[in-house]
A and B are shown apart, each in its own frame.
Chain A
Amino acid sequence: MSPSKESTQDTDAYPPQAVYSLRDFTSPAASEPFYQNYQFGVPIALDIGSSQVRIGLTNSTLPNNVFPSTTARYKDRKTGQMLTLVGNDVYRDPLSKSSIRTIYDGTVITNWDHVEYLLDYSFEHLGVHSDNGRVDNPIIMTEPVTSTVAQRKGMYELLFEVYQAPKVTFGIDSLFSYYANCDGKPNNGLVVGGGNESTHLFPVLDGRGVLSQTKRIDWGGNQSQQFLSKLLALKYPYFPSKLTPAQTTLMFQDFSYISDDYQEELKHFLDMDQLETKDVVIQAPVDLGTPEKKKTEQELAQQAERRREQGRRLQEQARQRRAEKLVQKEEELAYFVQLKQEFEVLSEVQIQKKLEAENFEDINDFNKYITGLEKSIKKQKYGEDDDSDDEIDPLTAWPLVDIPDDQLSPENIKEKRKQRLHKANFDARQKNIEAKKQEEELKAQYEKEQAEFREKDLEGWCSTKRIELAKFINRIKERQKILDSFKDRKSVAAQQRMKNIADLANDESGSTNANSRKRRRNATSTIDNDPNDTFGANDDDWNLYRDISNVNLEEEQAEDHTSVLALEAELLDHDPNFHHEDTLAATSTFDWKNSALHKFIHGPRPNISLAMQIEGIDPDEIATKPEIILKNHQLHLNVERIRVPEILFEPHIAGLDQAGISEISQDLFLRRLDGNFKPGGQSYNVVQDIFITGGLSRLPNFDTRIVKEFTSFLPVGAPIRVRKARDPTVDPWKGMQLWSSTNECESSYVTKAEYDEYGPEYIKEHGLGNVSLL
């Protein structure tokens, strides 16, 4: 069982996880509808939030337009025209995406030019028209809780001076939403408004929001989105594409949920069975481009085949050429042999003449040439190994070696030298064979001894082997520690090494102080031509470099690894209790099921690229595999799914020094309200209607968590009831529409004349709005 086999079995054992594709914001195909039923004098309700705008005339029960509160103003490159886009239209052109602006900076409006564009766009879509250059409708508008004076002033200026609206009133979106969900008859309750930029808790008494007891947590959908984005950037630092805010927003909306019991769920979140259902895989779009790749592989094979063919052809040609040459040489030899025979009957002079005609110097030269020819022909015909030494008799092969030089002619001395060389060669080979034989014998003996040992006392043998193995493994681990500690600059080993290097650089050649002083005096000498520098004169000097580098350690490490392998092989063969799982390699291979980090990053599946590395596939090749490319474009959401929404209950998770929803509520119910949970008491009334609204109210389990948290501090039997807004985004507008027909609304309008008289701080207080500071 090899590790690779195991891992493939693993992948077989797990079904593929469900993969969600990364969603991006897309605008609806149809453009914003225009309202057909415009009437003068009918109040217009505008809910301009920091993420979405809801607008409509109040003679309809639904807002006519709901669109993101984004604007973009940029010059179109093709036409050179200035484009001003609002809402969904911003997303219709990929070019405009870079110039997307929102009118808000945090909770306050900062970009008033764009507010005006947004209002122009809104009024046009509501079918507002006029013959006197003004918007002839009362305006009901949302504003932030404890709106800044600057913001109200800006809005008054726009509505009264630019649009010349007759009268305007402001209110708070969460309270309007509560109003709508109480069908216009709000009584007592606690409104939890989870907005885009902040979360508010409003107690409502007798149908009026109690602003003085309201608390704001500076955490909303936008902060959640940013926090998730940061978490993912840290979790996947090499993620190939950048996540846009729109993408993380949708991720947050789609997959996060509030945990009913955060501590308990967190404890077991990464358990395999839990993770199986809770891990969410998100696939970012990726272009694989595989078909092209395959074609080139085929082509590569063809190319290789062609090259081989060509090689074969060349070999064939060379063989033919050799054969031709052989024939030529044979003819030449025949000719010269005949010539030699002729020489026997000729005089010396004639021979010399003939030789010179054939371009030879003398008869020696001629003979040499002929023997050379003979040799080469022989070689070609019968191969090269005709002078092999297999039947050499060491006693007779080298007759000259043992005869002293003075008894030999100079030629024989030369020959003797040659023979001596051959003999030495032969002896060395013989010695090698002998050594090998001996080694084998030793090994056989060792095996025999071991076998006897085993037969006598298997247990004893096992334990001694195991002790030996443990010793090696310990040594390997110790050494690994030292090697690892070199990576840490501050470790003792690394510091010692730095010291060595520093000594070397300073002056390692044992120079005395006088020496170095002399060198210092000798200004012209540099490190390259210093006469006092004797480093290298002694060969041992160079060992220093060996000490500095960790080659020694690594070599020893490798040696020990081989001995461990040998010992393990023996144990595997003979020890019945030693299995593959017990080998060092198996125990040190990665057990991903017990790795919190692996499960956090890769979810409940093995790491396929790691498995491929174990199988020995080239890393470059791994990187081009389609499944790896797909995997590199995947995100796993697991702990984040509950970690981000949990911030509403524990803001300190995000470094916010504020109390969470339940702590604020506890304070409210037990201390700031009358704390009376008997029928008729304030707290008794309020706790019966806890109402969650705003975009964050769509988080699953928000209500059940609130019930659970609140019961922990409420007295036993407190009649807690929690509900969510029917439609958290549109309900504020519906509330405004409902409210617009009431007397309370009628009496809270500020007219142009009043604005002119009292200034921008002036509002008329009502149950669903801010408190006047005047």
Chain B
Amino acid sequence: MADLELSQLSYVTTKHHSFKSSTKVKPSNKRFKPARQLISDEIKYLQTKSLKFDTPTLTSITAPPTLKPSKKYCDITGLEGKYRSPSNNLRFYNVEIYQEVIRHMPPGLDQEYLSLRGANVILK
């Protein structure tokens, strides 16, 4: 694509817009808050409100934790995971997966697999 075209495409956005007042303030250079902070701000804001018990809020509509026993799956293949490696808690489908993958797994890789289902150890 030619540069001319790119700059034309860019011009559509950056040119003076008749629908914006000419006294428009330049976009400020202030840092925008990351999502995590925005959400914690929202939670703080919600606490200042006296809301009815069933008012839907960001936190109240979150799906509740499951009450059903969770099924076990092989961490490597995703197949049924009947067995668990005692050394690193990885679940596996059969002895082949254990012997070929889990037994000689380089350090750290087991944590990568565990992190898929949020079972990894997080050091703080």
Interface residues of A (CB under 8 A from B): 31, 76, 78-79, 81-86, 89, 92-93, 105-108, 110-113, 116-117, 120-121, 123-125, 128-131, 133-136, 145-146, 148-151, 162-164, 200, 211-212, 214-218, 227, 230-231, 234, 263, 266-267, 269-270, 487, 595-597, 600, 639-640, 643, 650-660, 663-664, 667, 770-771, 773
With A85-B9, A130-B18 already in contact, 4 other A-B pairs whose C-beta atoms are closer than 8 Å: A92-B1, A597-B96, A655-B119, A773-B49
5 smallest A-B Cβ distances: which pairs? A655-B118, A133-B21, A105-B35, A658-B63, A211-B56
Distance in angstroms between the alpha carbons of A658 and B63 in the assembled complex:
5
Which residues in A have their C-beta under 8 angstroms from that of B85? Answer: none
Partner of A650, one of B9, B49, B71: B71
Q: Does B68 contact A (CB under 8 A)?
A: yes
Closest CB of chain B to A44's CB: distance in Å? Answer: 11
Contact A133 B20 (CB under 8 A): yes
Which residues in B have their C-beta under 8 angstroms from that of A655? Answer: 115-119
**In chain B between 1 and 58, which residues have their CB closer than 8 angstroms to a CB of chain A?**
1, 3, 5-7, 9-10, 12-14, 17-22, 24, 27, 32-35, 38-39, 41-42, 45-46, 49, 51, 54-58
Distance in angstroms between the alpha carbons of A651 and B66 in the assembled complex:
9
> With A112-B32, A267-B80, A597-B101 in contact, do A124 and B12 touch (Cβ < 8 Å)?
yes
Closest CB of chain B to A148's CB: distance in Å? Answer: 4
Which residues in B have their C-beta under 8 angstroms from that of A113? Answer: 27, 32
Contact A234 B42 (CB under 8 A): no
* 11 contacting pairs across A/B (C-beta < 8 A): A82-B10, A83-B6, A84-B10, A85-B13, A113-B27, A120-B20, A234-B76, A234-B116, A657-B118, A659-B65, A770-B56
Contact A487 B20 (CB under 8 A): no
Contact A78 B62 (CB under 8 A): no
Contact A217 B100 (CB under 8 A): no
Contact B22 A133 (CB under 8 A): yes
Contact A129 B18 (CB under 8 A): yes
Contact A773 B51 (CB under 8 A): yes
Closest chain A residue to B106 by CB distance?
A237
Contact B10 A85 (CB under 8 A): yes
Contact A639 B79 (CB under 8 A): yes
Q: Does B94 contact A (CB under 8 A)?
A: yes
Q: Does B61 contact A (CB under 8 A)?
A: yes
Closest CB of chain A to B67's CB: distance in Å? Answer: 7
Which residues in B have their C-beta under 8 angstroms from that of A130? Answer: 18-19
Partner of B80, one of A85, A125, A266: A266
Contact B7 A76 (CB under 8 A): yes
Contact A93 B6 (CB under 8 A): yes
Closest chain B residue to A135 by CB distance?
B19
> With A83-B6, A234-B113, A663-B67 in contact, do A214 and B77 touch (Cβ < 8 Å)?
no
Contact B41 A76 (CB under 8 A): no
Which residues in A have their C-beta under 8 angstroms from that of B65? Answer: 657-659
Which residues in B have their C-beta under 8 angstroms from that of A123? Answer: 17, 19
Closest CB of chain B to A53's CB: distance in Å? Answer: 13
Distance in angstroms between the alpha carbons of A652 and B91 in the assembled complex:
14
Contact B117 A93 (CB under 8 A): no
Which residues in A have their C-beta under 8 angstroms from that of B55? Answer: 212, 771, 773
> With A110-B33, A133-B19, A145-B61 in contact, do A92 and B118 touch (Cβ < 8 Å)?
no
Count: A-B pairs, CB below 8 Å = 209
Q: What secondary structure prevails in chain B residues at the interface with A?
A: loop
Closest CB of chain A to B39's CB: distance in Å? Answer: 7
Partner of A150, one of B42, B56, B70, B109: B42
Q: Does B83 contact A (CB under 8 A)?
A: no
Partner of B1, one of A93, A120, A639: A93
Closest CB of chain A to B22's CB: distance in Å? Answer: 6
Closest CB of chain A to B97's CB: distance in Å? Answer: 6
Q: What secondary structure prevails in chain A residues at the interface with B?
A: mixed
Closest chain A residue to B45 by CB distance?
A149
Distance in angstroms between the alpha carbons of A112 and B46 in the assembled complex:
23
For A117, A230, A652, the residue with the greatest tally of chain B CB atoms inside 10 Å of its CB is A652
For A116, A149, A217, the residue with the greatest tally of chain B CB atoms inside 10 Å of its CB is A149
Q: Does B86 contact A (CB under 8 A)?
A: no
Which residues in B have their C-beta under 8 angstroms from that of A162? Answer: 20, 24
Partner of A83, one of B7, B80, B109: B7
Partner of B66, one of A89, A200, A658: A658
Closest CB of chain B to A646's CB: distance in Å? Answer: 9
Which residues in A have their C-beta under 8 angstroms from that of B20? Answer: 120, 133-134, 162-163
Contact B117 A664 (CB under 8 A): no
Contact B35 A108 (CB under 8 A): yes
Contact B13 A659 (CB under 8 A): no
Closest CB of chain A to B49's CB: distance in Å? Answer: 6
Distance in angstroms between the alpha carbons of A82 and B49 in the assembled complex:
44
Contact B57 A215 (CB under 8 A): no
Which residues in A have their C-beta under 8 angstroms from that of B19? Answer: 123, 128-130, 133-136, 163
Closest CB of chain A to B30's CB: distance in Å? Answer: 9
Which residues in A have their C-beta under 8 angstroms from that of B104? Answer: 487
Which residues in A have their C-beta under 8 angstroms from that of B57? Answer: 146, 773
Contact A148 B39 (CB under 8 A): yes
Which residues in A have their C-beta under 8 angstroms from that of B24? Answer: 162
Closest CB of chain A to B106's CB: distance in Å? Answer: 10
Distance in angstroms between the alpha carbons of A657 and B65 in the assembled complex:
5
Which residues in B have their C-beta under 8 angstroms from that of A128? Answer: 18-19
Closest CB of chain A to B43's CB: distance in Å? Answer: 9
Closest CB of chain A to B56's CB: distance in Å? Answer: 4
Closest chain A residue to B99 by CB distance?
A597
Distance in angstroms between the alpha carbons of A85 and B119 in the assembled complex:
41
Contact B73 A659 (CB under 8 A): no
Closest CB of chain B to A127's CB: distance in Å? Answer: 10
Contact B6 A85 (CB under 8 A): yes
> With A117-B13, A211-B61 in contact, do A134 and B66 touch (Cβ < 8 Å)?
no
Contact A110 B118 (CB under 8 A): no
Closest chain B residue to A103 by CB distance?
B32
Fill in one digit per residue for B71-97: 1 if any A CB lies within 8 Å of its CB, else 0. Answer: 101001111100000000000011011
Distance in angstroms between the alpha carbons of A263 and B19 in the assembled complex:
57
Distance in angstroms between the alpha carbons of A523 and B115 in the assembled complex:
54
Distance in angstroms between the alpha carbons of A768 and B114 in the assembled complex:
40
> With A110-B33, A216-B61 in contact, do A116 and B97 touch (Cβ < 8 Å)?
no
Contact A263 B71 (CB under 8 A): yes
Contact A83 B10 (CB under 8 A): yes
Which residues in B have their C-beta under 8 angstroms from that of A89? Answer: 6, 9-10
Contact B70 A652 (CB under 8 A): yes
Closest CB of chain A to B23's CB: distance in Å? Answer: 8
Closest CB of chain A to B57's CB: distance in Å? Answer: 6
Partner of A663, one of B5, B21, B68: B68
Which residues in A have their C-beta under 8 angstroms from that of B70? Answer: 650, 652
Partner of A654, one of B71, B94, B118: B118
Contact A81 B116 (CB under 8 A): no
Closest CB of chain B to A73's CB: distance in Å? Answer: 9
Which residues in A have their C-beta under 8 angstroms from that of B3? Answer: 76, 78-79
Distance in angstroms between the alpha carbons of A59 and B35 in the assembled complex:
36
> With A129-B19, A230-B116 in contact, do A660 and B94 touch (Cβ < 8 Å)?
no
For A107, A600, A654, the residue with the greatest tally of chain B CB atoms inside 10 Å of its CB is A600
Distance in angstroms between the alpha carbons of A511 and B70 in the assembled complex:
62
Distance in angstroms between the alpha carbons of A214 and B101 in the assembled complex:
43
Contact B117 A596 (CB under 8 A): no
Closest CB of chain B to A288's CB: distance in Å? Answer: 28
Contact A596 B10 (CB under 8 A): no
Partner of B93, one of A231, A596, A640: A596
> With A234-B112, A651-B66 in contact, do A131 and B13 touch (Cβ < 8 Å)?
no
